A and B are shown apart, each in its own frame.
Chain A
Amino acid sequence: MANSSSTDVKVLGAWPSPFVIRVRIALNIKSVKYEFLEETLGSKSQLLLQSNPVYKKIPVLIHGGKPISESLIIVQYIDEVWSSGPSFLPSDPYDRAIERFWAAYVDDKIFPSMKLINTAQGEEKAAIVEQVTEGLVLLEEAFQKSSKGKAFFGGDRIGFLDIAFGSMLGWLRAIEKMGGVKLLDEAKTPGLVQWAESFCADGAVKGIIPDTEKLVEFAKILVKMKGAPLGKN
């Protein structure tokens, strides 16, 4: 099913977006070549507005001219289309459902709270950090159950939940640095600390997650522009 022409697969995105990172990692795992069309910060291209008229947000995958939006939906699409490559979701339906559950948890609870750390102060900041840390402890438990002693949520190889959560690591580290806080730590989330290293070192991931410093600089630009970091997609 995979077409060898790289123009058949386009990704509309931007380098800092963790949601875009998910799509790029997914395509890398399947060894799919694609054209990366970088959106300019502060303006939305015609192609983006046409391809995702509902939300007008990145990432959008355009495959054979057909657009697909929403990062986790795109990742599942990639898994299903390029089915001969390594699969992202486990074969057992219950395990699949649990990975979907935790991926949604990352998007609905963890990442939105993480972003708030940037602009919060004092007691409010401490409360949010605690909330995020509690959430990460839940993910640590999920990791222990899911990985069964292996390196990733998906076992030996990176899977759906690894992609969903791992794509956040660049921002997690940037937020730790900017906020002077520790979110993943050896004491509370030892498994995830190890997992984060394995994830970032993986061949499909290397070079896709931006350096912490670059993200910190980018965050400063965003704050100047509109006072808040990346939107959700």
Chain B
Amino acid sequence: MGKSDIKLIGSWASAFTTRVRIAFNIKNVEYEHLEEVLGKKSDLLLQSNPVHKKFPVLLHDGKPLPESLIIVQYIDEVWSSGPSILPADPLDRALERFWAAYVDEKFFPSLKLVRVTQGEQLAAAVEAVGKSFEVMDGAFHQCSKGNAFFGGERVGYLDIAFGCTLAWLRALEKIVGVKLFDEVKHPALAKWMDSFCSDPAVEGLIPETDRFIEFLKLLPGAPPRH
């Protein structure tokens, strides 16, 4: 199977795209990355994901598949001889799916809100992120069972889902000049962040903070910051 059988439509700046790329790295699968230009959706994207018109979209032998976490599960199931991304036990799988959904429905939106708020609303947004980290800390202890990752000894589904939001975290802390994550309060999560970012499957994929800050400046909705 040649490299061109697998195409990924996405962007270096997209946390959701990065999830898929990490999954491919874990499975040691080569793919062609098709970078979308900010502000202009390619024809291929619009054809491949007519319902949501968003990336990432995987094109495997021409068959399109959108939605990052659905793609990650698909990769896990297709390349089943590689290291598993989801755990084997049904309860552990359910827990990782639950927390990944929490990341997408609660944690990540609360983090993104920091970018577009100021004053009292910003203070409320910062508090919400802090609470979310407390929840994720509990999740980490529940899932990791004393190991380095949510997935145990190796980077897994929930590590991927949550870890890809780190570029936003670091960039926003710099942009608003407020600590969003307290490593003193959550030492295990702090350690996990380092382990995740330095993992071979992840290295180089989480956008570098200053580059990402420049990217965020291009997005609408942010109040002026000094």
Contact = CB atoms under 8 A, between A and B. Distances in A.
Given A77-B91, A101-B65, A104-B67, A70 B98 contact: yes
A170 B198 CA distance: 50
A24 B94 CA distance: 17
B74 A97 contact: yes
Contacts of A63: 91
B4 to A, nearest CB: 18
B135 A73 contact: no
A74 B101 CA distance: 13
Given A54-B135, A94-B60, A101-B67, A77 B90 contact: yes
A81 B63 CA distance: 30
B73 A73 contact: no
B100 to A, nearest CB: 10
A93 B58 CA distance: 13
Interface in B42-89: 51, 60, 63, 65-67, 70-71, 73-74, 77-78
Interface in B92-122: 93-95, 97-98, 101-102
Contact of A94 (B63, B67, B135): B63
A200 to B, nearest CB: 26
Interface in A70-96: 70, 73-74, 76-77, 80-81, 93-94, 96
Contacts of B101: 70, 73
A97 B60 CA distance: 12
Interface residues of A, number: 22
A97 B65 contact: yes
B1 to A, nearest CB: 15
A40 B103 CA distance: 29
Contacts of A69: 98
A116 interface: no
A100 B73 contact: yes
Interface in A127-151: 138
Interface in B15-66: 51, 60, 63, 65-66
Contacts of B77: 93, 96
A77 B94 contact: yes
A84 to B, nearest CB: 13
Contacts of B78: 93
Contacts of B97: 70, 73, 76
Nearest to B106: A54
A68 B91 contact: yes
A41 B166 CA distance: 40
B50 to A, nearest CB: 9
16 contacts: A66-B91, A69-B98, A73-B98, A73-B101, A74-B94, A77-B93, A77-B94, A93-B74, A93-B77, A93-B78, A96-B73, A97-B65, A97-B70, A97-B74, A100-B73, A101-B67
Given A68-B98, A70-B97, 7 more contacts: A54-B102, A69-B98, A77-B91, A81-B90, A96-B77, A97-B65, A105-B51
**The 3 A-B residue pairs with the shortest CB-CB distance in the complex, in nearest-first order:** A80-B90, A93-B77, A77-B94
Interface of B: 51, 60, 63, 65-67, 70-71, 73-74, 77-78, 90-91, 93-95, 97-98, 101-102, 135
